[in-house]
Amino acid sequence: MEIHLDTDLGGDIDDLCALAMLLRWSEDTHLVGITTVAEAKGRRAGYVRYVLGFEGKREIPVAAGADVSQGFYRYAELGYPSEERYWPEPVSPSANTPEEAIRLLKHSIEQDATIVGIGPFTNLYLLDLKYPGILKQANLFLMGGYIYPIRVGFPQWGNNMDWNIQADVKSAKHVLENSSPTLVPLTVSVETALRRAYLDDLRKSGSLGRLIAKQAEAFAVDEEMERKYGETCEGLPKDIINFQHDPLACAIALGWSEGVEISEIPLKLELRDGWLQEKIDTAGKPTKVVTKIDGDKFNEFWVKAISNHHPAHTESA
């Protein structure tokens, strides 16, 4: 199976967890391209290339896409965690023109690769502007959406917490209206967890596993999710470090289905006070939406996918 990943790796560490899982999925799964979004002059693309070096996968094409300087995003600046604490060494940016990312996405779609978007949808929007109708050809999985309420026992967040859609609502609305995606919404991905209990296994899982463990420890200090959610949400493990929004979306795109339910729901999109609302409406567009998962099963599946890696996965960057 061929996969193209569109990611905003370099902020929340679930993008790193997703990329690591894709790299260690199986020998018949091939990453044919990676594009980065919400960029800062190639900083995210530089991080992606650095991660690929750990697995000896430098041949995978990488292109930096839409940049924050282009004015697409709700926030003029997107913060990055401390490079000194999150990365083993300084990582050089890998800059290029955003058009290179559009060309890479186009090529992947023409090769029938499955496209998985785990960041804002800006690159996909720009792709469809340049090549109208191309998104209708894509086998597209998108992490994002807020359709049903979050179940009791999990953080009772609102629609504004759906970063991938709300960071760039114009692009999100266009993409959802001009493609046939499968949405993996925030309201189910919030039932997943990267747990402190996994750190020992990660540290034994080669250079990439150690990088995830390093970032997880720093993230635990910065975000304090054990206190915020582990102690207050009955549905989550007490040792939660982060949610696994992006790994879940990638796993479902690759066919992981244990405890997963997908429904076709008629959705109508409305912009209201600068926020995108997704409403169930009989006149809306039929959209595939993941409506149920088993978070505990996915958590265990993810850590096994990372830790049961081939011994060759030990190359340094």
Q: Which residues pair with 130 in a beta bridge?
A: none
The pairing of beta strand 275-280 with beta strand 261-272: antiparallel
Cβ atoms of 65 and 119 closer than 8 Å:
no
In single-letter form, the type of residue at position 249 comes to: A
> Distance (Å, rounded) from C-alpha 48 to C-alpha 22?
13
Of 83, 79, 123, whose CA–CA distance to 104 is shortest?
A: 123
- Neighbour-count burial of 241, counting CB atoms closer than 10 A to its CB (0-12 exposed, 13-18 middle, 19+ buried): buried
Q: What is the pLDDT at residue 75?
A: 82
Cβ atoms of 50 and 207 closer than 8 Å:
no
Residue 317, pLDDT above cutoff 80:
no
What pTM did the predictor assign?
Answer: 0.95
Q: What is the pLDDT at residue 310?
A: 44
> Distance (Å, rounded) from C-alpha 269 to C-alpha 162?
15
Residue 21, pLDDT above cutoff 80:
yes
Residue 5, pLDDT above cutoff 60:
yes
DSSP 169-217: HHHHHHHHHSS-PEEE-HHHHTT--EEGGGHHHHHTSHHHHHHHHHHHH
Interval 260-277 mean pLDDT: 95
Residue 286, pLDDT above cutoff 50:
yes
Task: State the chain's mean pLDDT as an integer.
Answer: 94
In single-letter form, the type of residue at position 38 comes to: A
Residue written as token pair 């960071």: 167
In this prediction, residue 314 has a pLDDT band, given cuts at 50, 70 and 90, of very low
Domain definitions of the chain by residue range: 2-307
Q: What is the pLDDT at residue 203?
A: 96
Residue 60, pLDDT above cutoff 60:
yes
Cβ atoms of 164 and 143 closer than 8 Å:
yes
What's the token pair of residue 160?
């504004």
Residue 139, pLDDT above cutoff 80:
yes
Residue 77, pLDDT above cutoff 90:
no
Per-residue model confidence as pLDDT tens digits over 89-124: 999 999 999 999 999 999 999 999 999 999 999 999
In the chain, % of residues over pLDDT 70: 97
Q: What is the pLDDT at residue 78?
A: 74
- CB burial of 65-100 (b: ≥16 within 10 Å; e: otherwise) equals bbbbeeebbeeeebeebeeeebbeeebeebebebeb
> Distance (Å, rounded) from C-alpha 184 to C-alpha 42?
27
Cβ atoms of 134 and 107 closer than 8 Å:
no
Q: Which residues pair with 142 in a beta bridge?
A: 117, 183
Residue 309, pLDDT above cutoff 70:
no
Q: What is the pLDDT at residue 313?
A: 37
Per-residue model confidence as pLDDT tens digits over 178-199: 999 999 999 999 999 999 999 9
Of 118, 94, 59, 80, whose CA–CA distance to 315 is shortest?
A: 59
Residue 315, pLDDT above cutoff 70:
no
Interval 209-213 mean pLDDT: 97
Of 118, 96, 116, whose CA–CA distance to 43 is shortest?
A: 96
Grouping H, G, I as helix, E, B as strand and the rest as coil, residue 285 is strand
2-307 to CATH, choices 3.20.20.140, 3.40.50.920, 3.40.1350.10, 3.90.245.10 = 3.90.245.10
H/E run at residue 21: helix 14-23
